């Protein structure tokens, strides 16, 4: 059942409304999971998950205990205009949480979203990198909440769990705000902006069902998932461009590389020269790889998860 979460009047007489699809089974108040996506208008991987999850849950409704709330579009104007941030404000929506009732319209919307999700047994916040980088299916956790969130993260069937240092986590994100008020929230990153990778989406949906099974929300046999690789900042090597130009990869996404191996080159179309050869700082797996070829000095090219081959 579609429900309005929060809304605000727009200057042109239209209304900005955030909606959710509430799918309730037996004992709807017993447990609640929130699946949110569409914070960034150019991230579409979550749209597939929202669509398919709703379809599958309708078929499982007789085995469902509790409530699943699906929020497909926290930033509907951004999605409809293919704009990453908040149209007209040049602002990242994931930098205004927990919001406020006395500030801007979007902060009012952000506050309404947080209040609606608060109290859920689990919130899954789905992102899709951006148009520049491709990511393997992964969960990112603030080390401050790692003890509580890591056991839940193991159920989501993602390849990798990255535990960030607290200093690198922004306090104005939806996930930080929800975790800060005691609503366990896992951030999922997968795929690339403006694209849908159905296999990644199916992988996550399987994990959501496993998490629901763990929470006693699905009356189905135990759903096994593969354990993820768990890593911290110290196990991740970064590759950044020192020169501007056109990036041409020399490895594939998810490929294992050795320390000093060429990740790619930055070419100069004006001179025909190679401006820079980019080398891996550690041995490991390339879990992030530049998708968009044009790069500037400092652009992130790749992240390598250190460790021996399995």
- Per-residue pLDDT reduced to its tens digit, 164-180: 876 666 889 999 999 99
Query: In this predicted model, what pLDDT tens digit does every residue of 239-270 receive, in sequence order?
Result: 999 999 999 999 999 999 999 999 999 999 99
| Helix 198-214 / helix 45-59 crossing angle, nearest 10 deg | 50
- Give the pLDDT of residue 243: 97
Which residue, of 185, 202, 230, is where some domain finishes?
230
Model confidence at 310: pLDDT above 60:
no
Q: How confident is the model at residue 88 (pLDDT cuts 50, 70, 90)?
A: confident
Mean pLDDT of 285-306: 96
Q: Which domain holds residue 17?
A: 2-230
Question: 269 is written with which tokens?
Answer: 């179309």
Nearest CA among 111, 20, 105 for reference residue 67: 20
Same domain? For 158 and 268 the reply is no
- Whether 149 and 65 share a structural domain: yes
Q: Which pLDDT band holds residue 35 (cuts at 50, 70, 90)?
A: very high
Both 221 and 252 in one domain: the answer is: no
For position 292, which CATH number holds? 2.40.50.100
Domain boundary among 201, 230, 259: 230
User: 161: which 2 tokens?
Assistant: 């769990």
Share of the chain above pLDDT 70, in %: 97
Report pLDDT for 167: 60
pTM of the model: 0.94
**Which residue has tokens 């992988």?**
203
Tell me the HSE value of 87 on the side-chain side, using a 13 A CA sphere: 14
Q: Is residue 309 pLDDT above 60, yes or no?
A: no
For residue 195, pLDDT over 60 is answered with yes
Shared domain for 68 and 213, answered yes or no, is yes
Q: What is the DSSP string of 64-76?
A: BBSEEEEES-SSH
Residue 310 belongs to some domain of the structure: no
**What stretches of 99-144 adopt beta strand conformation (E)?**
122-127, 133-142
Residue 76 vs residue 88, higher pLDDT: 76
Q: What is the pLDDT of residue 154?
A: 96
Tell me whether residue 260 is in a domain: yes
Q: Does the pLDDT value for residue 146 go beyond 90?
A: yes
Tell me: do 250 and 185 sit in the same domain. Answer: no
Residue 251 and residue 225 share a domain: no
Contact between 279 and 251 (Cβ < 8 Å): no
Q: What is the pLDDT of residue 170?
A: 80
Segment 119-140 shows an average pLDDT of 96
Domain boundary among 203, 230, 257: 230
- Amino acid 295: pLDDT: 98
Q: Which of 120-134, 136-150, 228-242, 268-282 has the lowest mean pLDDT?
A: 228-242
Question: With 80 as the cut, is the pLDDT of residue 307 above it?
Answer: no
């Amino acid at each position: 059942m579609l429900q309005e979460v929060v809304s605000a009047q727009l200057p042109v007489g239209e209304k900005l409304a955030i909606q959710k699809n509430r799918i309730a089974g037996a004992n709807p108040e017993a447990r609640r999971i929130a699946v949110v996506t569409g914070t960034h208008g150019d991230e579409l991987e979550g749209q597939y998950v929202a669509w398919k999850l709703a379809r599958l849950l309708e078929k499982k409704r007789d085995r469902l205990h509790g409530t699943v709330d699906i929020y497909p579009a926290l930033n509907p104007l951004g999605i409809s205009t293919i704009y990453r941030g908040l149209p007209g404000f040049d602002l990242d929506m994931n930098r205004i949480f927990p919001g406020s009732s006395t500030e801007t319209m979007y902060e009012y919307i952000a506050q309404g979203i947080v209040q609606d999700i608060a109290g859920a047994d689990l919130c899954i916040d789905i992102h899709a990198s951006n148009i520049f980088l491709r990511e393997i299916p992964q969960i990112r956790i603030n080390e401050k909440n790692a003890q509580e969130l890591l056991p839940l993260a193991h159920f989501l069937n993602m390849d990798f769990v990255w535990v960030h240092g607290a200093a690198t986590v922004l306090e104005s994100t939806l996930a930080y705000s929800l975790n800060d008020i005691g609503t366990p929230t896992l951030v999922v990153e997968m795929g690339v902006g403006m694209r849908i990778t159905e296999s990644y989406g199916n992988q996550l949906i399987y994990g959501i069902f496993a998490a629901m099974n763990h929470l006693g929300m699905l009356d189905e046999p135990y759903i096994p998932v593969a354990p993820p690789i768990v890593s911290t900042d110290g196990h991740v090597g970064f590759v950044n461009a020192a020169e501007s130009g056109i990036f041409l990869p020399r490895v594939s996404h998810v490929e294992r590389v050795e320390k000093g191996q060429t990740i790619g080159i930055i070419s100069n179309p004006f001179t025909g020269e190679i401006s820079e050869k980019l080398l891996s700082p550690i041995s490991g797996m390339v879990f992030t790889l530049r998708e968009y070829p044009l790069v500037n000095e400092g652009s992130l090219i790749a992240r390598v998860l250190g460790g021996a081959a399995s």
